[in-house]
């Protein structure tokens, strides 16, 4: 019995080490969603207007958005810039979830309305709700296009074209940087 106890005591540090390794592995596997939501909170922590539940329309000045948003997002969302084709984070992404306005958190698209488009920007055939977006005539760059803006904060999202797939035949051609993707929770 003494001998057994001795073996156990001598190997105790090994048992503890094994336990810690197992514990850390389990933690790493189960904590991913928490880490992701922490990251989102960090990204939006300086933006008091960001909300995924509040649908109240926002009236925030150009100058104030400039203080809040990253220079890259500000350039696209408030100066109507366009990211280069095939460079954004969502143009060929097909995860299941919801796309929100990166400026204000307004719910814009579901992943099941996204389709593979060869244009190099994330493309959708319909919005989540009819009032999710608003539309302006755009005559810039010698073209006639319809600009798509966020229905809550009026940030520039992209343009809409009528060469999309059924059932709507529309193609919402969006800038990835203007979108925040939140994956569906695993059931
Ligand atoms: Zn918005």
| pLDDT at residue 31, rounded to an integer | 42
Q: What is the pTM of this model?
A: 0.76
Ligand 1 centroid – CA 23 distance (Å): 41
Place of tokens 């940030």: 155
| pLDDT at residue 16, rounded to an integer | 52
| pLDDT at residue 44, rounded to an integer | 73
Domain boundary assignment for the chain: 1-30, 42-183
CB 117 within 8 A of CB 93: no
Ligand 1 centroid – CA 160 distance (Å): 17
97: left (phi over 0), alpha (psi -120 to 50) or beta: left
Angstrom distance (rounded) from CA 51 to CA 141 = 34
| pLDDT at residue 175, rounded to an integer | 97
Backbone angles phi, psi at 51, to 5 degrees: -155, 135
- With residue 138 as reference, give the H or E element that holds it: strand 133-138
| pLDDT at residue 127, rounded to an integer | 98
Given 133, 150, 153, 173, the catalytic residue: 173
| pLDDT at residue 151, rounded to an integer | 98
Ligand 1 centroid – CA 168 distance (Å): 23
Ligand 1 centroid – CA 155 distance (Å): 6
| pLDDT at residue 35, rounded to an integer | 42
| pLDDT tens digit sequence for 127-139 | 999 999 999 999 9
CB 69 within 8 A of CB 79: no
Q: Which residues of the chain have pLDDT under 50?
A: 20-42
Ligand 1 centroid – CA 84 distance (Å): 21
Residues that place a CB less than 5 A from ion ligand 1 = 101, 103-104, 106, 150, 152-153, 155
CATH class belonging to 42-183: mainly beta
- With residue 115 as reference, give the H or E element that holds it: strand 114-115
173 is catalytic: yes
Beta bridge partners of 115: 123
């Amino acid at each position: 019995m003494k001998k057994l106890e001795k073996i156990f005591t001598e190997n105790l540090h090994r048992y503890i080490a094994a336990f810690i390794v197992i514990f850390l592995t389990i933690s790493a596997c189960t904590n991913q969603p928490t880490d992701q939501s922490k990251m989102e909170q960090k990204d939006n922590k300086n933006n008091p207007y960001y909300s995924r539940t509040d649908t109240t329309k926002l009236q925030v000045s150009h100058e104030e958005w400039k203080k809040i948003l990253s220079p890259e997002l500000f350039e696209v969302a408030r100066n109507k810039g366009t990211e280069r084709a095939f460079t954004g984070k969502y143009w060929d992404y097909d995860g299941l979830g919801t796309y929100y306005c990166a400026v204000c958190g307004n719910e814009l698209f579901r992943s099941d309305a996204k389709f593979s488009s060869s244009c190099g920007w994330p493309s959708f055939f319909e919005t989540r709700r009819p009032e999710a977006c608003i539309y302006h005539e755009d005559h810039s760059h010698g073209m006639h296009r319809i600009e798509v803006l966020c229905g809550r904060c009026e940030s520039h999202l992209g343009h809409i074209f009528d060469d999309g797939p059924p059932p709507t035949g529309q193609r919402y051609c969006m800038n990835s940087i203007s979108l925040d993707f939140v994956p569906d929770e695993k059931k």
